[in-house]
């Protein structure tokens, strides 16, 4: 994978992806000093999401001129007041020097649709899967804001995913979580009413998506 510097680029990201981004920073791939996070779980609160994005981008611009937004498109921004407004409109309104990672949601940042289909065949016999990333485990209270532990919500949303829930894990988070706090992991699975398991893979796709936007900002 080509070496690209992010030293003059800031990252503005959904807090759900902080685990992967901090991992990439610690391993030296992300050499930026400027990473700003919004609150996890704002996908259904368009107004607050926009407010926080504007705020974080403003702070980032105090440091650098180039910014990569780590948010999905189709599923990460649902505007009930203005259904025609999309994430691309939000990004365009943020002005010059701001670009967004090319993914539909955080799961798509880690594994493409084709790869998820392969994993579903391998692990769940092709049955419908509820996909998650480690942030959906760590920040479950915020991601399911107001609904975590709500049995009615769980019954309505999860059991139709007959292939269970799979956490796309590129940082070894699930294995560590299960080793240290197995009762919490089982409690999460019990609430969902479906089996919950991790699937280990690399962060190569995520890196490639970040490199793609860095090269775009640098005119490569």
Strands 35-38, 66-70: pairing is: unpaired
- Could you tell me which CATH number the domain at 9-107+203-217 has? 3.40.50
pLDDT score recorded for residue 19: 98
pLDDT score recorded for residue 105: 95
In the chain, CATH 3.40.50 covers: 9-107+203-217
The pTM score is 0.94
pLDDT score recorded for residue 185: 95
pLDDT score recorded for residue 44: 79
């Amino acid at each position: 994978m080509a070496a690209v510097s992010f030293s003059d680029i800031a990252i503005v990201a959904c807090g759900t992806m902080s685990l992967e981004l901090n991992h990439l920073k610690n391993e030296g791939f992300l050499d930026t000093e400027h990473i700003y996070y919004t609150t996890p779980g704002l996908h259904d609160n368009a107004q607050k999401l926009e407010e926080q994005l504007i705020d974080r981008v403003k702070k980032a611009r105090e440091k650098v001129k180039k910014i990569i937004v780590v948010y999905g498109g189709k599923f990460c921004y649902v505007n009930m007041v203005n259904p025609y407004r999309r994430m691309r409109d939000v990004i365009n309104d943020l002005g010059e020097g701001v670009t967004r990672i090319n993914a539909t949601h955080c799961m798509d940042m880690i594994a493409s649709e084709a790869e998820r289909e392969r994993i579903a065949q391998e692990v769940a016999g092709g049955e419908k899967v509820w996909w998650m990333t480690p942030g959906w485990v760590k920040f479950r209270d915020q991601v399911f804001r107001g609904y975590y532990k709500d049995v009615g919500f769980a019954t309505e949303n999860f059991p139709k995913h007959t292939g269970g829930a799979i956490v796309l894990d590129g940082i070894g988070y699930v294995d560590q979580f299960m080793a240290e706090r197995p009762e919490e992991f089982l409690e999460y699975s019990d609430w969902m009413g479906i089996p919950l398991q991790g699937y280990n893979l690399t962060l190569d796709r995520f890196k490639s998506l970040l490199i793609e936007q860095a090269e775009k900002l640098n005119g490569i």
